[in-house]
């Protein structure tokens, strides 16, 4: 399906010729060719033609993005409901004794977001030294790909909805089963209990097989390839090389059975922006990621695009066979790629889409949705079940076995967090980690051969101390580059759910937002290439095929 099509190139060149006559630097360029060292022109284009073509590329890319349909960015309506700030993000703002954001403080936040003035943000009263995470970046422009305010995502589930309840029950179960090794999901009573409860909820949207949620589908993503093979992507297990330094992907993880923010007094202090009284307890032994706690630790200390950067290094080490068949140098007799269609370009474009995608995410977080975080929602659940307040929470979360187990184990109904400080001080929807993963994986799928099997796949031991070869079951699906990249994106997104800082829909829509931004950036950048190259071709997270060429996105 064609989403949009740029101005016909030949007609546009004609328009450009008329326009360039009014541009001073363009007229100056036509006064004479740029002299090379031998007195000749620099390549097949004259200097004037080159400058004119560069101008054409910039203008045509801008026109392409400008022509995109304007789609309203709408919230789910919780903020304008009688609940108001009670159902919205408010960490670091003033709170009352129930942990509810003070309406006056929330109104000042909304006023600052509407004005964009730094002075208005500074006027928001704060209960502590805690600071909001970069809300003013939500106004930043993006000049490659779609503008940050141009990419919509659906509204998140409403506070009182059955879907919201199912997402909360899921994060409770993820917290309760953090120490269960992925290799033991099939035999774990806790995982079986979680699957039964989640599978029976009225609006649970995790992946199922023949309508059933099982130990093989629980806590997994819904992208193509997510259900194939081990829970973790090969790109988070296989060894890699940084320059001349070989690296095993063993990481410092957090100590088993160590959870945070289940004390109501500590919880309230952290909601107001105070520093936690506890520090992160670490396991002294580095391990391969083998359970939810390890994965949550990884996505706590990783730098912005660490996971997709590591995947890029692993893919480039797989050699020429792993490159996309669209790569013009893959079958070249006399040339190799590098600055274009090689590692220089891949790593550069990977970083470019990261910031572009995060600008779009921050627009959604601060200016549109302002979704309440799971730790805040658990405060509402705790106060409701403790009969200190009454909120319109769905019965499926109030009656949840997982919530009851938390009360029995920790003494409160609060969500056990993987981090002492809980969530970062910005709204929940969409998940920033997911947005980066979605954008980065999309770039990698454009450059590499998606249907190629991953060589020498591995699986981590239950204690995370070793890797063993992995073989797909007879007749089972292969582990492919595209499938394992999709799984990587889901692992990163769901790892934040496992930590307790996001919901499932934060990650799903974060991946899709990152994907959409990356597709737009790839469209703009493809016009800078001069090789005989037809298009990037890749599969989206939902399995649909997409073609990105100089003139269109199909």
Whether 426 is catalytic is yes
Domain hosting residue 110, numbered range: 84-136
User: Residue 539: is its pLDDT beyond 50?
Assistant: yes
How many domains in the chain?
A: 3
Q: Are residues 331 and 410 in the same domain?
A: yes
Q: Are residues 347 and 425 in the same domain?
A: yes
Q: Are residues 486 and 442 in the same domain?
A: yes
Q: Are residues 383 and 463 in the same domain?
A: yes
Task: Read off the pLDDT of residues 408-421 as tens digits, 9 standing for 90 and up.
Answer: 999 999 999 999 99
Give me the phi and psi of 480, to 5 degrees please.
Answer: -105, 165
Write down the pLDDT at residue 476: 87
Q: Are residues 443 and 300 in the same domain?
A: yes
pTM, whole model, 2 decimals? 0.92
4-5 and 552-553 strand pairing: antiparallel
> Which of 66, 99, 115 represents a domain boundary (last residue)?
66
User: Residue 29: is its pLDDT beyond 60?
Assistant: no
Q: Are residues 119 and 249 in the same domain?
A: no
Share of the chain above pLDDT 70, in %: 93
Q: What average pLDDT does the segment 467-489 reach?
A: 96
Q: What average pLDDT does the segment 268-293 reach?
A: 97
Write down the pLDDT at residue 42: 74
In a domain, 150, yes or no: no
In a domain, 252, yes or no: yes
> Which run of H or of E encompasses 458?
strand 458-460
Among 47, 149, 394, 426, the one annotated catalytic: 426
User: Residue 39: is its pLDDT beyond 60?
Assistant: no
User: Residue 514: is its pLDDT beyond 60?
Assistant: yes
Whether 433 is catalytic is yes
Q: Are residues 59 and 99 in the same domain?
A: no
Beta bridge partners, 552, equal: 5
Task: Read off the pLDDT of residues 228-258 as tens digits, 9 standing for 90 and up.
Answer: 999 999 999 999 999 999 999 999 999 999 9
Q: Are residues 363 and 461 in the same domain?
A: yes
Q: Are residues 62 and 96 in the same domain?
A: no
- Written as one string, the DSSP assignment of 133-192 is --GGGGG---SSSS-TTS---PPPPPTTSHHHHHHHHHHHHHHHTTTSBGGGGGG-HHHH
């Amino acid at each position: 399906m064609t989403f949009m099509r740029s101005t016909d190139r030949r007609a546009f060149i004609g328009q450009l010729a008329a326009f360039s006559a009014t541009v001073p630097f363009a007229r100056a360029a036509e006064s004479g060719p740029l002299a090379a060292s031998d007195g000749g022109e620099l390549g097949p284009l004259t200097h004037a033609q080159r400058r004119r073509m560069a101008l054409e590329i910039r203008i045509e890319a801008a026109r392409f993005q400008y022509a995109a349909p304007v789609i309203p960015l709408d919230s789910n309506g919780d903020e304008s409901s009688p609940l108001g700030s009670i159902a919205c993000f408010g960490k670091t703002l003033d709170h009352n004794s129930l942990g509810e954001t003070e309406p006056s403080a929330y109104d000042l936040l909304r006023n600052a977001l509407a004005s964009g003035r730094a002075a208005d943000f500074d006027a928001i009263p704060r209960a502590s030294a805690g600071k909001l995470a970069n809300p003013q970046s939500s106004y930043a422009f993006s000049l490659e790909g779609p503008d940050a305010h141009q990419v919509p995502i659906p509204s998140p589930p409403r506070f009182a909805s059955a879907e919201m309840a199912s997402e909360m029950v899921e994060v409770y179960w993820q917290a309760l089963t953090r120490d269960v090794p992925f290799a033991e999901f099939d035999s774990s009573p806790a995982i079986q209990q979680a699957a039964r409860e989640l599978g029976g909820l009225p609006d649970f949207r995790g992946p199922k097989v023949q309508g059933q949620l099982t130990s093989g589908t629980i806590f997994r993503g819904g992208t193509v390839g997510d259900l194939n093979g081990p829970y973790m992507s090969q790109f988070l297990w296989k060894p890699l090389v940084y320059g001349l330094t070989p690296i095993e992907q063993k990481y410092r993880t957090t100590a088993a059975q160590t959870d945070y923010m289940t004390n109501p007094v500590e919880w309230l202090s952290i909601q107001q922006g105070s520093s936690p009284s506890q520090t992160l307890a670490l396991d002294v032994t580095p391990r391969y990621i083998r359970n939810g706690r390890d994965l949550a630790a990884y996505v706590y200390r990783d730098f912005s695009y660490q996971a997709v950067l590591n995947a890029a290094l692993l893919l480039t080490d797989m050699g020429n066979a792993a490159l996309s068949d669209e790569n013009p140098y893959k079958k070249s007799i006399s040339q190799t790629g590098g600055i274009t269609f090689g590692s220089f370009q891949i790593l550069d474009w990977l970083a470019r889409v990261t910031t572009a995608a995060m600008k779009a995410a921050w627009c959604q977080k601060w200016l549109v949705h302002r979704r309440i975080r799971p730790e805040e929602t658990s405060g509402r659940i705790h106060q409701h079940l403790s009969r200190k307040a009454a909120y319109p929470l769905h019965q499926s979360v109030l009656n949840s076995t997982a919530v009851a187990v938390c009360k029995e184990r920790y003494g409160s109904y609060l969500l056990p967090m993987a981090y002492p400080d809980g969530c970062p001080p910005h709204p929940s929807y969409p998940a920033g980690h997911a947005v980066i993963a979605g954008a980065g994986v999309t770039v990698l799928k454009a450059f590499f051969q998606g249907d190629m099997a991953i060589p020498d796949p591995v699986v981590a031991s239950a204690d995370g101390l070793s890797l063993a070869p992995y073989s797909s079951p007879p007749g089972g699906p292969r582990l492919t580059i595209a499938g394992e990249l999709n799984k990587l994106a889901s692992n990163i997104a769901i790892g934040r759910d496992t930590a307790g800082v996001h919901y499932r829909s934060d990650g799903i829509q974060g991946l899709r937002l990152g994907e959409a931004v990356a597709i737009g950036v790839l469209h703009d950048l493809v016009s800078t290439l001069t090789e005989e190259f037809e298009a990037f071709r890749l599969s989206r997270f939902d399995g649909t095929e997409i073609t990105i060429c100089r003139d269109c996105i199909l």
